């Protein structure tokens, strides 16, 4: 609280107890004035915490003892005023001789404790522990608080957390990345990677997933040299732990190929895309939609290289797979038609391009999405011709 006091909230089976303490609150002249001010500040914080946590049932507040009857009435009145902003039904009692005030509140949703905590996985008993997201936020606050207290720079700071926390940090980092806050996203990706390396070991597939996440982020920032080394390390882990023909390995090949593609190293990107396609054909079958995606990736690269004659039959095969497996009206079919139209435009075959665009528009109009000719390599990789996720498939 502003003056240095604090409250302790303890939910139990029968009721919720809230204890008010003065803490470092010693600014007022005299003990009575300090107690009075601390209790007044506590009413606002108690009302806020009850709303945030959605605590319900019987709530007993143990205020600091006040000798003055006027002070007790003022605190009661402030408590009622603070609770008026609450949408729940609330009934506030009076402060007794021992300094306790009883109130009742209607709960509007599930308990905060049930939302933010999960059953203990070690004992599977009645105890509950913080979930991964809560631990991640708590760790970030603890780290920031520790750094603020330290006046001299630290050489290193070690934080031990469960591996699940790394997933929450990764999700938070992706949110910052989507918002364009790259400087805030990078340390979160790095922290998630450090947690997984510490808890799971440097050769675990989940570590490869974190390496891929960080590499994708660095690539988006233009740090291609750093991203390349991370992609290669992730690929080596996956090949060793999951086998050279695992689908996650195909994803890593695609990610690394995309980096070479972005830097203009087409000769290095092509064999990687071909290996990714070969893995998917073997594991999923030659007519799986993901194989069509790999074919599109390869054909788009060939188009950028100017190898139009090689690219055309690959685009056509990808189109045939999608029409057969997904249906002739699927949006991915429109994407394949779009790719063929872009190739025809590059070759100067305007009539063929219009034909493909017209068919693509018919499909997109059915899905209320107009077709746009994509002549850039931005949509080169992934399940729908977009950059693949680094999540390790099961």
With H, G, I as helix, E, B as strand and everything else as coil, classify residue 90.
Answer: strand
The answer on pLDDT for 182 being more than 60 is yes
pLDDT per residue over 341-359, tens digit each? Answer: 999 999 898 988 899 988 8
On average, the pLDDT of the chain sits at: 82
pLDDT per residue over 233-282, tens digit each? Answer: 999 999 999 999 999 999 999 999 999 999 999 999 999 999 999 999 99
The answer on pLDDT for 61 being more than 80 is yes
The answer on pLDDT for 135 being more than 50 is yes
Q: Is there a contact between 291 and 280 (Cβ–Cβ < 8 Å)?
A: yes
Handedness of CA 350, 355, 359, 361 (dihedral sign): positive
Global pTM reads 0.57
The answer on pLDDT for 391 being more than 70 is no
Q: How far are the Cα atoms of 320, 347, 354, 375, 383 from residue 342, in angstroms, in the given order? A: 17, 9, 10, 6, 20
Can you name the residues that pair with 129 across neighbouring β-strands? 118
Q: Is 171 or 121 the better-scoring residue by pLDDT?
A: 171
Count Cβ atoms below 10 Å from residue 36 Cβ, excluding itself.
Answer: 21
Query: What does the longest C-alpha to C-alpha distance in the chain come to?
Result: 94
Give the pLDDT band of residue 145 (cuts 50, 70, 90): confident
In CATH, the architecture of 276-394 is Alpha Horseshoe (1.25)
Residue extents of the structural domains in the chain = 6-105, 276-394
Residue showing tokens 């799971």 = 200
Report how far Cα 367 is from the mean position of its chain's Cα atoms.
29
pLDDT in the model for residue 117: 62
Give the pLDDT band of residue 66 (cuts 50, 70, 90): confident
pLDDT per residue over 236-250, tens digit each? Answer: 999 999 999 999 999
Range in 126-135, 344-353, 370-379 the model is least confident about: 370-379
Residue showing tokens 């007790």 = 72
pLDDT in the model for residue 122: 63
The answer on pLDDT for 191 being more than 70 is yes
Q: Is 276 or 131 the better-scoring residue by pLDDT?
A: 276
pLDDT in the model for residue 292: 93
pLDDT per residue over 7-52, tens digit each? Answer: 999 888 788 999 998 877 666 567 888 888 899 999 999 999 888 8
| Domain 6-105 CATH (choose: 1.10.260, 3.30.110, 1.10.10, 1.25.40) | 3.30.110
The answer on pLDDT for 370 being more than 60 is no
The answer on pLDDT for 287 being more than 90 is yes
Say which DSSP state 99 is in. Answer: S
């Amino acid at each position: 609280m502003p003056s240095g006091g604090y409250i302790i909230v303890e939910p139990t089976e029968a009721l919720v107890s809230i204890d008010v303490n003065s803490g470092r609150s010693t600014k007022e002249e005299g003990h009575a004035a300090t107690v009075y001010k601390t209790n007044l500040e506590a009413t606002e914080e108690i009302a806020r915490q009850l709303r945030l946590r959605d605590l319900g049932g019987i709530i007993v507040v143990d205020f600091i003892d006040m000798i003055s009857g006027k002070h007790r009435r003022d605190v009661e009145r402030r408590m009622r005023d603070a609770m008026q902003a609450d949408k729940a039904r609330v009934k506030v009692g009076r402060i007794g001789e021992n300094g306790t005030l009883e109130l009742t509140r209607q709960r509007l949703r599930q308990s905060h404790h049930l939302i933010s905590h999960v059953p203990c996985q070690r004992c599977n008993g009645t105890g509950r522990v913080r979930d991964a997201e809560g631990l991640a936020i708590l760790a970030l606050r603890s780290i920031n608080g520790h750094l603020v207290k330290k006046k001299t720079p630290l050489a290193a700071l070690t934080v031990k957390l469960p591996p699940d926390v790394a997933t929450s940090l990764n999700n938070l980092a992706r949110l910052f990345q989507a918002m364009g806050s790259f400087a805030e996203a990078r340390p979160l990706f790095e922290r998630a990677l450090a947690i997984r390396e510490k808890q799971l070991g440097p050769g675990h597939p989940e570590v490869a997933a974190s390496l891929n996440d960080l590499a994708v982020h660095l690539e988006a920032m233009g740090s291609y040299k750093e991203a390349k080394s991370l992609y290669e390390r992730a690929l080596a882990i996956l090949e060793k732990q999951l086998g050279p023909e695992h689908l996650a390995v195909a994803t890593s090949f695609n990610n690394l190929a995309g980096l070479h593609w972005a830097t203009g190293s087409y000769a290095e990107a092509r064999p990687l895309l071909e290996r990714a396609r070969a893995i998917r054909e073997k594991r999923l079958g030659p007519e799986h939609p993901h194989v069509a995606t790999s074919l599109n990736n390869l054909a788009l690269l060939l188009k950028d290289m100017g190898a139009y004659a090689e690219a055309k039959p690959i685009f056509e095969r990808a189109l045939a797979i999608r029409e057969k497996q997904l249906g002739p009206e699927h949006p991915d079919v429109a994407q394949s038609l779009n790719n063929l139209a872009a190739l025809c435009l590059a070759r100067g075959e305007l009539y063929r391009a219009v034909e493909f665009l017209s068919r693509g528009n018919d499909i997109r109009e059915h899905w209320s999405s107009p077709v746009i000719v994509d002549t850039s390599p931005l949509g080169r990789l992934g399940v729908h011709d977009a950059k693949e996720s680094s999540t390790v498939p099961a």
